[in-house]
Amino acid sequence: MLKFKKRPGKKIFLLGALGVVLLLGVFGYHFGPRYFFRYYGYLFLDGVDGHMPSVEIETLKQKTRGLRAKIVWSSSRTGNHEIFLLTLPEVKTYQLTHHPHVDFFPRFSPDGEKILFVRSRKPWVSQREPDPWDIYLFSLTTRQETLLIPGGNFPQWISADTISFLRNNQVLIKNLSTGREEMVLDGKLEPVSAFIGMPEFSPRDKRFLAFEPRGKLHGVFILDRSRGTFLKFGPGCQLTWFPNGSGVLWIEGSGRGGTQILTSSPFQVDKKTFMDLPGAYSHEYFPRLSRDGNWLVWGASAGDHEPDIADYEIFLWNIHRPPSEAVRLTYSKANDRWPDIFIEPAP
């Protein structure tokens, strides 16, 4: 009797199909929510109560006694992202913008009298989308806003009349007095070949540019423009400078709540933990130091990550005190993100 060997083809096919299904499942679990919220995040935003409880107001006043400051950030508490301002020691909150599109990424001018921010070109745009944004200038004196740069994103003050920003995946510097623009880095070209995020020049030396590329270069880097060299600090995001240029901060996916704020010298990688807040709100994001280098503002959630819709709250910390003495500035279920702080000069 003839005997035929069983062909392994069917078994191999089934194993291969199972592998594809598992791979798609892992991909969907990791990237699925990101892509969904990118296009439909507005469905999860609704107006909420944003008032600070009176007992927390007293706690805030006690822990920041003697501090005269303004904190600005983007909040979805109205059901749409607008720019808000908190003053200390008064602990008064003001809504600065009133627009149906997304307003975020506010940055104080060196004198604290103006704010750069970006506005989406349609009602809903995720911050993951780098292009459909315009840069506006808001005057705290006149309460007027002015369209400054069409098509721009991630603005940063370099001086009183000079800013940097991102447009069409290129980092540019613009002189506000003359209108002259200078392109300093093109993310579409070698050796970057990546989507650029959050470019920020050293406050002390424009030769050094911090940025977060996503592509051939991936992670958080500093470009030394004079040498054409790139120094990688890690796989994180949101690299920002100490105001004297002596160090940098960034976010990495580790720590108590899934993230922590790391620090290093900007000239060699020597990273260590700068902030990993104890307690429930230890998923840190959006770090920003005051210009005197003494205060840190940032957003933190109780574990949710999605930067467009998660319940991030804004915190303030005197970096010379234990992290446990950080104070909470917002109390709502809204998405509060991208704070900045200006310390008022002594009267």
CB-based contacts of 41, cutoff 8 Å, min separation 6: 124, 126, 306, 308, 309
pLDDT digits (tens, 9 = 90+) for 4-45: 455 566 666 666 556 555 655 544 545 566 556 656 554 655
203-215 average pLDDT score: 96
Calculate the average pLDDT of the chain.
91
Is 68 part of a structural domain of the chain? Answer: yes
Is 285 part of a structural domain of the chain? Answer: yes
Is 13 part of a structural domain of the chain? Answer: no
> Of 140, 145, 39, nearest to 87 (Cα)?
140
What is the tally of structural domains in the chain? 1
313-322 average pLDDT score: 97
Residues recorded for the chain:
347
Give the domain range for residue 155: 22-343
pLDDT score recorded for residue 4: 47
SS3 state at 137:
strand
Is 208 part of a structural domain of the chain? Answer: yes
Using the predicted structure, report yes or no on whether residue 141 has a pLDDT greater than 90. Answer: yes
Q: How many CB atoms lie within 10 A of CB 274?
A: 20
Report the CATH number that the domain containing residue 213 is assigned in CATH: 2.120.10.30
pLDDT score recorded for residue 207: 96
> How crowded is the C-beta side of 186, counted as CA atoms within 13 Å?
5
pLDDT digits (tens, 9 = 90+) for 216-274: 999 999 999 999 999 999 999 999 999 999 999 999 998 999 999 999 999 999 999 99
Distance CA 311, CA 309 (A): 7
Q: What is the CA radius of gyration of the chain?
A: 22
Using the predicted structure, report yes or no on whether residue 189 has a pLDDT greater than 70. Answer: yes
